[in-house]
Structure 1
Amino acid sequence: QIKNIHHLVLKGINDKYAGNYRDQQVMISGAQHLPPAPFLLKEKMNQFIEWYSTKAQELHPVERAAMVQIIFVGIHPFVDGNGRTSRLLLNLELMKSGYPPIVIKNTNRLEYYAALDKAHTTGENFDFVSLVVKETNNMLDRYISLCNNNF
């Protein structure tokens, strides 16, 4: 399903790589983290799916959604479109548990990238999980506000 989502993200933009794992080393612009070599991708993605099927299910849904994005972006399995795909996966995970999708605002972009890079370089996930929790709460507050205004 991840490859299908990525295919939709890149379709018409880069059809050669749409839905296909990368065959070259990539760097994340502005980040210290270096994603794994291409020959490790299948193993890393299998580990990710195994984690998701087991340990991830013990986490709170919002934390699980944040961790899905952290782990996926850390693997960076595609040449392009990893960020867009990871945000779709995060929101899919939130919605599967009844939460609204979130949008990381441009004003929070630096905090977002710094928290992701910190998670990848130090293993400290708190800042990124907190950002996702904050944005989820903001979106829930917006929905409640809209509901209150309509009654």
Structure 2
Amino acid sequence: MASINALFVGVAETEISGVGGAGHRARPATVFNSLLHNTLTMVQHNSLIGAQLAARGYYQAFEAVKSSVASVLANENPGRVVDEDHGGWYRELFAPSVAAGIVKPSDLAGYRSGRVFIRNSMHVPLTPNAVRDAMPVFFEMLEAEEHPAVRVVLGHFIFVYIHPYMDGNGRMGRFLMNVMMAAGSYPWTVIPVQRRADYMAALERASVHHDIVPFSRFLGELTRQGMSGETTAMLPAS
């Protein structure tokens, strides 16, 4: 049997009244440090809230994806399953942000209506009109593809290449990848934080230089490690 790897190849002073009494003169450094401390505290607080919302959204989307996995394990066509279910994953991914008033529900309806650009990438995703044309064809391709490794690699890559949403495309692409993994009897595969640079470089190579081989090999290596019981992802050292 061909190796798993082979199967997957093919971001002055200031007068301050009310500080130490009216007319108290505070040194600029003192004022600056106080403002900086308050600003950083607010930023840290907002970052913590954002991280909590993102984590909650990821959990809710993961639960929805599990239902999709169950469908493909019941021998439903994986391309058809993700076509029907991916909109629900996306709504769950950002549902906590909607509840917090950060995202409007209408923002989660359908695909993006504006241009989007990827930080630190030369790849420019499709225009909104092109997205609407490409997505149905993409899912038709997945539905018709018989080889599980091709569905895994091209499913993930083409989804993030199109970049159909304003945000969350990477997470959605990896969810889709893992539904395709399940359909091929491959294990759930996580991209290790320690290998994020390799992952992004392989995607960039495929998107900009049209060379899918490094990305295929990258996913094939992670899959092989998962199937052999090797540890692929670890918590960062505290």
User: How far apart are the structure 2 equivalents of 1:11 and 1:86?
Assistant: 18
Q: Please, which moves more after superposition, 11-20 or 122-131?
A: 11-20
The alignment's C-alpha RMSD in Å is: 1.5
Q: Residue 105 and residue 19 in structure 1: after superposition, are their counterparts in 2 closer, same or farther (change >3 A)?
A: farther
TM-score of the superposed pair, with normalisation by structure 2: 0.56
Structure-2 residue corresponding to 1:38:
128
User: How far off its partner does 1:15 sit?
Assistant: 4.7
Structure-1 residue corresponding to 2:221:
134
Q: Which amino acid aligns with 2:142?
A: Y
Q: How many residues align?
A: 140
* Equivalent residue for 1:82, pick from 147, 169, 178: 169
Unaligned runs of 5+ in 1: 144-151
Equivalent residue of 2:167, what SS? Answer: coil
Instruction: Map Cα deviations across residues 26-71 of structure 1 (whole Å, 9 max, x no partner).
Output: 00111110001111111010121121122x32x3x23321110100
Among all aligned residue pairs of Structure 1 and Structure 2, give the percentage whose two residues are the same amino acid. 27
TM-score of the superposed pair, with normalisation by structure 1: 0.86
2:110 pairs with 1:20 = yes
Q: Which amino acid aligns with 1:79?
A: M
Higher-Rg structure is 2
User: How far off its partner does 1:136 sit?
Assistant: 0.5
Instruction: Map Cα deviations across residues 72-129 of structure 1 (whole Å, 9 max, x no partner).
Output: 0000000111000100000111012211111111111011001111111122111111
User: How far apart are the structure 1 equivalents of 2:95 and 2:132?
Assistant: 22
Runs of 4+ in structure 1 off by over 2 angstroms are 13-20
Q: Which amino acid aligns with 2:129?
A: F
Structure-1 residue corresponding to 2:190:
103
Q: Please, which moves more after superposition, 11-20 or 97-106?
A: 11-20
User: How far apart are the structure 1 equivalents of 2:151 and 2:96?
Assistant: 31
Structure-1 residue corresponding to 2:152:
65
